Structure 1
């Protein structure tokens, strides 16, 4: 018993000792350059899905927000976030990669946290508030065969 306790005590002492690690010599200017290069890379990414969210930040040459997303068993809903600066009408369209599928605009959440929906594969609604909106895209719970795969979402905000 005495030997076991001495053995356990020695293991405890060796595991608690801090090892001296070799530090890299990085100056503060190097870290700033590294951070700037990360920011530049993030600016090149336009309207991509990150996790379960698509941030619509950039419009294309036709003044549409266009992004590709995907639904799978882990992300059964995708949240499309965009900022509305002008009152008007929002037109949206989902195009599944395979042509047809059980996918739709489930809900739109306004800046005041009120919501409307469900909609279909096409969306036409009035935007009566300025601020950040969220569109929830997913499959219809009332239909069979949930959609899993890639899709393209297109949004257009027509000013009044």
Structure 2
């Protein structure tokens, strides 16, 4: 009986180590799958929570994405990297003709901001870095818009 206890303890420890090795193999497979999913998402410009990351330009060299405003997400943040100076033209296309939706604000890389705007935005981008557009409804108007919309960003580069 005295010899049985140490043998059981040794077997127990070896079995625990084998399970840990199996988990590490699975987690490395999971990380590969996670990287593939991230690469696919980069090509889709999809809304995640209250944020749309603009990472992929379409064939017209325009960032385009679909978003949803609802009671949980009354503001949507459009984030993109501005790599070149120039003019930004942005448009919101709601599913209904008359909609209380607009660009509330643009936040530049140095954390300064400008706004509010309408459903169309035309502004100069004089800084390189992460730029954020905030989309929501106008608090000065009635009937906040809840529903799907499309947003398109076109960046015209200057020769600087």
**TM tier, smaller:** 0.7 to 0.9
- Deviation of 1:97 after TM superposition, in Å, equals 1.6
Counterpart-to-counterpart distance in 2, 1:114 and 1:58: 25
Q: 2:50 aligns with which of 34, 43, 52?
A: 52
1-side partners of 2:45 and 2:67: how far apart? 9
Alpha-carbon distance between aligned partners in 2 of 1:124 and 1:148, rounded to the nearest angstrom: 24
> What is the correspondence of 1:91-102 to structure 2 with a 5 Å cutoff?
91-102=89-100
Q: Matches of 1:38 and 1:100 in 2, distance apart?
A: 40
Aligned to 1:115: 113
Superposition map of 1:69-80 within 5 A: 69-80=67-78
1:73-92 correspondence to structure 2 within 5 Å = 73-92=71-90
Give me the TM-score of the superposition, normalised by structure 2. 0.82
In structure 2, what is the equivalent of residue 7 of structure 1? none
**Structure 2 runs not aligned, ≥5 long:** 1-14
- By how many angstroms is 1:42 displaced? 2.1
**SS of alignment partner, residue 55 of structure 1:** strand
**Which TM-score applies when normalising by structure 1?**
0.82
Question: How many residue pairs get matched?
Answer: 139
Per-residue CA distance 1:58-77 (angstroms, 9 max, x = gap): 11111000011000111100
| Separation in structure 2 between the aligned mates of residue 49 and residue 111 of structure 1, nearest angstrom | 21
1:30 to 23, 26, 32: 26
Q: How far 1:41 sits from its partner (Å)?
A: 1.5
* 1:42 maps to 2:38: yes
Q: Structure 1: which 5+ residue stretches go unaligned?
A: 1-21
SS in 2 for 1:38: helix
